[in-house]
């Protein structure tokens, strides 16, 4: 795996642009939690995962499961950036006959491996996929992304028990710990305490990424997780909801909000400046 920070940072910029373009085409959508995972998706799609956009169903590919399926725009943005489909398709987000529904659907979108949306269910699907791969003698990885608000779901912890019991080291979990969820902050809704300690109690190797938008830190965490051969790993990404766009970063709640077409040029300029500074 060849890591180039400048390339990964620029890919993250493109993913954020694609997210905003897609949501602006509809007028509103899940902005905050899509923007907050752009850097992680850039690293995964840019230099970690074994994938082929020309052959999205190739047998030995790595899998990615966005359990917080409402962040589908982020996945679609990454898929478009990697050439799974044309970027003009982003303009059909959540419209009639689109291949880009509001939540990810493996039957509709090239490159989507799991249908998700009901929070928590993606964790069980990812665990099952990882166990099936082990039983089949496959060497690929499954990468799972969950939100910190999603940790309120009991199914997440049932899957964590299952994953640890079966020592599924071929499953690497990311927690997008941006501190906010639909109805407020995670502390207000249901205080999580230490996410790392909770997963460790379930039998995981926990890795903290203090800056969940630093592509090098994310990459190093993935490399550490791949070296762990006894326990499944969880990477806790300390992120900012709406990351990359000042307007959304400063909003009390940008979980689902508007993106206006006339705002795009300003947002793109803001992102381009970040790319130049990377």
Q: What is the pLDDT of residues 131-152, one digit of tens each?
A: 999 999 999 999 999 999 999 9
Q: Are strands 180-181 and 184-185 parallel, antiparallel or unpaired?
A: antiparallel
What is the per-residue pLDDT across 192-215, written as a single tens digit (0 to 9) for each? 999 999 999 999 999 999 999 999
Mean pLDDT of 223-245: 98
Averaged pLDDT, 72-83: 98
Predicted local distance difference test score (pLDDT) of residue 66: 97
**Beta bridge mates, 235:** 174, 207
191, burial (CB in 10 Å: exposed 0-12, middle 13-18, buried 19+): exposed
Measured distance CA(84)–CA(260) in Å, rounded: 26
pLDDT at 52 over 80: yes
CATH superfamily placement of domain 5-277 = Thiamin diphosphate (ThDP)-binding fold, Pyr/PP domains (3.40.50.970)
Q: What is the mean pLDDT of residues 2-29?
A: 97
Please state, in angstroms and rounded to a whole number, the distance separating the CA atoms of residues 251 and 242.
8
Q: Indicate the domain borders of the chain.
A: 5-277
Spatial contact of 75 and 66, defined as CB atoms under 8 Å apart: yes
pLDDT for the residue numbered 202: 97
Give mean pLDDT, residues 16-38: 97
Res 278: pLDDT: 79
Q: Would you say residue 65 has pLDDT above 80?
A: yes
User: What pLDDT, on the 0 to 100 scale, is given for residue 183?
Assistant: 86
pTM (predicted TM-score): 0.97
**What would the pLDDT profile of 246-276 be if each residue is shown by its tens digit?**
999 999 999 999 999 999 999 999 999 998 9
* CB atoms near residue 258 (< 10 Å): 13
At residue 277 the predicted structure's pLDDT band, cuts being 50, 70 and 90, is confident
pLDDT exceeds cutoff 80 at 223: yes
Averaged over 11-26, what is the pLDDT? 98
Position 100 pLDDT exceeds 90 = yes
């Amino acid at each position: 795996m060849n890591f180039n920070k400048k390339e990964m940072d620029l890919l993250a910029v493109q993913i954020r642009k694609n997210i905003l373009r897609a949501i602006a085409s509809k007028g509103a959508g899940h902005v905050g939690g899509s923007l907050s995972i752009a850097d992680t998706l850039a690293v995964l799609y840019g230099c970690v995962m074994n994938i082929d956009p020309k052959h999205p169903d190739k047998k030995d590919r790595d899998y990615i499961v966005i359990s917080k399926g409402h962040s589908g725009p982020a996945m679609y943005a990454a898929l478009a950036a990697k050439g799974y489909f044309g970027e003009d398709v982003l303009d059909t987000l959540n419209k009639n006959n689109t291949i880009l529904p509001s939540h990810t659907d493996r039957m509709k979108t090239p490159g989507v491996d799991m249908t998700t949306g009901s929070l928590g269910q993606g964790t069980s699907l990812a665990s099952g996929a990882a166990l099936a791969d082990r039983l089949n003698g496959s060497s690929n990885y499954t990468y799972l992304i969950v939100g910190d608000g999603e940790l309120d779901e009991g199914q997440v912890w049932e899957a964590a028990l299952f994953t640890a019991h079966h020592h599924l080291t071929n499953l690497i979990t990311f927690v997008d710990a941006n501190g906010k969820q639909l109805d407020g902050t995670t502390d207000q809704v249901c205080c999580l305490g230490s996410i790392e300690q909770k997963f460790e109690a379930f039998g995981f190797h926990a890795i903290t990424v203090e800056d969940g938008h630093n592509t090098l830190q994310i990459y190093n965490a993935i490399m550490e997780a791949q070296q762990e051969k006894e326990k499944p790993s969880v990477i806790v990404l300390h992120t900012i909801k709406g990351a990359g766009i000042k307007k959304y970063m400063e909003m009390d709640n940008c979980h689902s909000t508007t993106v206006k077409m006339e705002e795009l040029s300003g947002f793109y300029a803001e992102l381009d400046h970040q790319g130049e500074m990377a």
